[in-house]
């Protein structure tokens, strides 16, 4: 029961987990805010780039399509009826995750935090909020079917743990500048 909730939550959120990590590898080039400031600080900062956002979103959508191709054998193996992603849900999860992260940078700059500064809580959940919000907006039928109340609870509990773990690994491997 709890196992199948965790499997469903993890599977359904995979297209939202991958974009930010891919953006770390793909980032660079022109920042989204074009270097502009607002009220004495950058609007978003150099850590939010067009390339990172585009490649991260594409990777999340691509992963969703890839998962659709293997959902049947994986469901059979795990013994859980895992969801197939419709295209709008895939875009909502991937692009929503990137938008949540971008929104968090906007808030960090407004609160005087420099690029790379930690914002505990927000750092771990910004992309979950963005991904769920956009997915419920663009694919409401799919979202309500997959993200039931218990699945949402599991998402909110496991995501920060996974996020901290992957960022610590990325930092240890030298691909990320800070371990958050
Ligand atoms: N990145 C990007 N575009 C995005 C998100 C991330 O190019 N939309 C890349 C940037 O190179 C960024 C790195 O991924 O430096 C790490 O992402 P993140 O930790 O979200 O950004 P920070 O540099 O820490 O900046 P901020 O303080 O605004 O979060
Ligand atoms: Mg950061």
**124-174 pLDDT, tens per residue?**
999 999 999 999 999 999 999 999 999 999 999 999 999 999 999 999 999
Q: How far is the CA of 95 from the centre of ligand 2 (A)?
A: 18
Picking from 128, 119, 125, 122, the residue whose alpha carbon sits closest to that of residue 96 is 128
Q: How far is the CA of 77 from the centre of ligand 1 (A)?
A: 36
Res 1 pLDDT > 90: no
Does residue 46 lie in a domain region?
A: yes
Average pLDDT (93-106) is 98
From 18, 26, 27, the mutation candidate for ligand 1 (largest count of ligand atoms within 8 A of CB) is 27
Does residue 40 lie in a domain region?
A: yes
Does residue 125 lie in a domain region?
A: yes
Does residue 178 lie in a domain region?
A: no
- Ligand 1 site residues (CB inside 6 A) read 23-24, 27, 45, 47-49, 52-53, 98, 101-102, 105, 108, 115-117
Give me the domain span that covers residue 74.
2-172
From 23, 28, 122, the mutation candidate for ligand 1 (largest count of ligand atoms within 8 A of CB) is 23
Give the separation between CA 93 and CA 135, rounded to whole angstroms. 6
DSSP string over 126-144: HHHHHHHHHHHHH-HHHHH
Whole-structure pTM value? 0.97
Does residue 180 lie in a domain region?
A: no
Q: What is the pLDDT of residue 101?
A: 98
Does residue 118 lie in a domain region?
A: yes
Tens digits of residue pLDDT in 8-58:
999 999 999 999 999 999 999 999 999 999 999 999 999 999 999 999 999
Tens digits of residue pLDDT in 150-163:
999 999 999 999 99
Does residue 144 lie in a domain region?
A: yes
Sorted by sequence, the CB contacts under 8 Å of residue 54 that are 6+ apart come out as: none
Q: What is the pLDDT of residue 128?
A: 97
Nearest CA to ligand 1 atom 28: 105
Q: How far is the CA of 139 from the centre of ligand 2 (A)?
A: 29
Give me Rg for the CA atoms of the chain: 16
Res 66 pLDDT > 90: yes
Domain count, the chain: 1
Res 117 pLDDT > 90: yes
Phi, psi of 52, deg, nearest 5: -60, -40
Does residue 179 lie in a domain region?
A: no
């Amino acid at each position: 029961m709890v196992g199948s909730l965790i499997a469903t939550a993890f599977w359904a959120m995979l297209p939202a987990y991958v974009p930010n990590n891919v953006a770390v590898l793909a980032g660079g080039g022109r920042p989204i805010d074009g270097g502009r400031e607002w009220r004495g600080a950058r609007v978003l900062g150099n850590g939010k780039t067009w390339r990172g956002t585009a490649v991260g979103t594409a990777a999340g959508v691509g992963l969703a399509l890839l998962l659709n191709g293997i959902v049947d054998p994986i469901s059979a193996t795990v013994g859980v009826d895992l969801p197939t992603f419709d295209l709008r849900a895939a875009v909502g999860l991937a692009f929503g995750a990137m938008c949540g992260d971008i929104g968090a940078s906007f808030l960090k700059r407004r609160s005087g935090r420099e690029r790379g500064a930690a914002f505990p809580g927000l750092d771990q959940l910004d992309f979950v909020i963005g991904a769920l919000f956009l997915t419920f907006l663009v694919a409401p039928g799919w979202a309500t079917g997959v993200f039931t109340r218990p699945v949402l609870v599991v998402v909110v509990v496991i995501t920060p743990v996974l996020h901290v773990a992957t960022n610590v690994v990325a930092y240890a491997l030298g691909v990320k500048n800070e371990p958050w």
